[in-house]
A and B are shown apart, each in its own frame.
Chain A
């Protein structure tokens, strides 16, 4: 063998020896630094959380068909919790062209044109506020998926995506899988459990699993949120309301009554709940007479 060939062979032997020496250390290091993390997490580390909100906002801008304020507009289109916005959006009124009629003043963040360039340029970008509908909400899902990859601790991303998946997009199985992914990243989070219960109850009509999940959500709320000064009572109200209605429809009036009485304490309009308590009590009385 000629000299260059020998040198190449020697280098290959050195490289092979080095890799056998380094490999165990490299595996140990990978385990320490979070094995099983996604590619995005490995590449970007904690910096990905910074981008998660931007990507979530991108998904929201898709919901509004691209009509979305920038940081220069100084106004927000909607500023509710992300988890609420999904259902809020579906409750908005729209005209026959899908144009949003809710809070017309609030949504008109552009205002009047400031000058002729501003006026002229408005013919070349989206200036009408419409929402995605009839299953087109699916278009925002890639951004929500990416946002969840970026910041798996943001539960709102999972609940918003699951809401659209199980309602207009018609993919409850995928909603369940995504919520389970959320639960793996945020174990036993009550908001995720509430949404998961909705999938079981409203889409799969599985009362027993829905009950189990919502009971767990209630229990977790008391454990996680209960001790907090600014506890999210709206979340507990939603969990208890769901449980109460489900038990009533299932004919478990005793359980329904317990939950309606708890809901009465939480509700801002207890008179409305009084009516439910009365009806449930009547059903219990009727059952006892039989």
Chain B
């Protein structure tokens, strides 16, 4: 099963570096960061945290856009160009197609993340003369796990929503909403009356808490690395949601008519 899925993933990864999205986002991130880095604040060249914050924000936006747009077009593109039929004619199951597409998008995001974080490390190394390798490793890993959940969610969305554009928009709104508000839903629910409180609590307990994986503040404010035990626990937390989304996607894909 994994051989077929990995072969398909390889095709998706190659697609990423043929397309221009990644390069455009990377160049934009580099240009904006360097332009902001050249701004003079009170003739003090030791000021660096605002730059780290801006650069990490751009990296997060860029990778989120990349992951969502890439995952949203995988299955619809195969259907539109009718390449899904010769693909499924080969000894490959629909589940393997879903897994292969997911792994391809996820690995591609991982590669892009590496490039982005290398730029970030160089930037902070030059400005701050310090490179907290362990903290950066934890941040990249958690970021990648978060992108795994988003990618799986978008692949499921591509089987539910009619067009890739609507899937991408809804996925982006949902992801941004969770990142901004997910942590606070329980506090809001406490102040609400029934049945709104129960509904909000149900949402709170069921959504994937993407904000857990967002450790930008720890990096920006030079905090020590997260305790390894807690950091490691975030991986199975992400794996559970990835599995839920992929199983749901497989279930729908197996019952979906491809000719329509």
Task: Say whether A associates with B.
Answer: yes
With both beta carbons as reference points, the residue of chain B lying nearest to A118 in the complex is identified as: B186
Interface centre among B187, B188, B213 (most CB of A within 10 A): B187
Cα A70 to Cα B182 in complex, Å, equals 13
Within 8 Å of chain B (Cβ to Cβ): is A169?
yes
Cα A171 to Cα B45 in complex, Å, equals 12
Q: Which residues of chain B come closer than 8 Å to A65, judged between CB atoms?
A: 221, 223
Is there an interface contact between A141 and B186, defined as CB atoms closer than 8 Å?
no
Within 8 Å of chain B (Cβ to Cβ): is A21?
no
With both beta carbons as reference points, the residue of chain B lying nearest to A74 in the complex is identified as: B187
With A145-B42, A174-B43 known as contacts, the answer to whether A126 contacts B221 (CB < 8 A) is: yes
Interface of chain A residues 51 through 79 with chain B (CB within 8 A): 62, 65-66, 70, 72-74
Question: Distance (Å) between the CB of A14 and the closest chain B CB?
Answer: 36
Question: Distance (Å) between the CB of B96 and the closest chain A CB?
Answer: 33
With both beta carbons as reference points, the residue of chain B lying nearest to A62 in the complex is identified as: B49
With A72-B184, A114-B186, A141-B41 known as contacts, the answer to whether A124 contacts B221 (CB < 8 A) is: no
Cα A124 to Cα B212 in complex, Å, equals 6
Question: Distance (Å) between the CB of A60 and the closest chain B CB?
Answer: 13
Cα A154 to Cα B97 in complex, Å, equals 59
> Which of B44, B186, B218 is within 8 Å of A115, CB to CB?
B186
Stretch at the interface among B25-33, B63-71, B203-211, B238-246: B203-211
Cα A73 to Cα B190 in complex, Å, equals 12
With both beta carbons as reference points, the residue of chain B lying nearest to A126 in the complex is identified as: B217
1/0 per position for B156-185, CB-CB distance to A under 8 A? 000000000000000000000000000110
Total inter-chain residue pairs, C-beta < 8 Å: 84
> Which of B48, B188, B220 is within 8 Å of A72, CB to CB?
B188
Question: Distance (Å) between the CB of B217 and the closest chain A CB?
Answer: 4
Interface of chain A residues 138 through 178 with chain B (CB within 8 A): 138-139, 141-143, 145, 165, 169, 171, 174, 178
With both beta carbons as reference points, the residue of chain A lying nearest to B52 in the complex is identified as: A139
Task: Number of A interface residues at 8 Å Cβ cutoff, please give it.
Answer: 29
Question: Distance (Å) between the CB of A177 and the closest chain B CB?
Answer: 8
Is there an interface contact between A138 and B47, defined as CB atoms closer than 8 Å?
yes
Within 8 Å of chain A (Cβ to Cβ): is B234?
yes
With both beta carbons as reference points, the residue of chain A lying nearest to B184 in the complex is identified as: A72
Task: Summarize B's interface: helix, strand, loop or mixed.
Answer: helix
Is there an interface contact between B186 and A123, defined as CB atoms closer than 8 Å?
no
Is there an interface contact between B211 and A121, defined as CB atoms closer than 8 Å?
yes
Stretch at the interface among B13-21, B87-95, B102-110, B225-233: B225-233
Within 8 Å of chain B (Cβ to Cβ): is A125?
yes
Within 8 Å of chain A (Cβ to Cβ): is B84?
no
Within 8 Å of chain A (Cβ to Cβ): is B50?
yes
> Which of A66, A118, A143, A178 is within 8 Å of B50, CB to CB?
A143
Q: Which residues of chain A come closer than 8 Å to B205, judged between CB atoms?
A: 115, 117
Q: Which residues of chain A come closer than 8 Å to B226, judged between CB atoms?
A: 123-124
Is there an interface contact between A66 and B44, defined as CB atoms closer than 8 Å?
no
Cα A65 to Cα B215 in complex, Å, equals 14
Is there an interface contact between A117 and B186, defined as CB atoms closer than 8 Å?
yes
Q: Which residues of chain B come closer than 8 Å to A120, judged between CB atoms?
A: 212, 230, 233, 237
1/0 per position for A205-217, CB-CB distance to B under 8 A? 0000000000000
Within 8 Å of chain A (Cβ to Cβ): is B255?
no
Q: Which residues of chain B come closer than 8 Å to A118, judged between CB atoms?
A: 183, 186
With both beta carbons as reference points, the residue of chain B lying nearest to A169 in the complex is identified as: B44
Q: For the A-B complex with A66-B218, A114-B187, A139-B49 known, give 19 more contacts whose Cβ atoms are closer than 8 Å.
A: A66-B217, A66-B220, A66-B223, A120-B212, A123-B230, A124-B212, A124-B218, A124-B226, A124-B234, A126-B217, A138-B44, A138-B46, A141-B41, A141-B42, A141-B47, A142-B39, A142-B41, A174-B42, A178-B42
Report which B residues bind A (CB closer than 8 A).
39, 41-44, 46-50, 142, 183-184, 186-188, 190, 204-205, 209, 211-215, 217-218, 220-221, 223, 226-227, 230-231, 233-234, 237
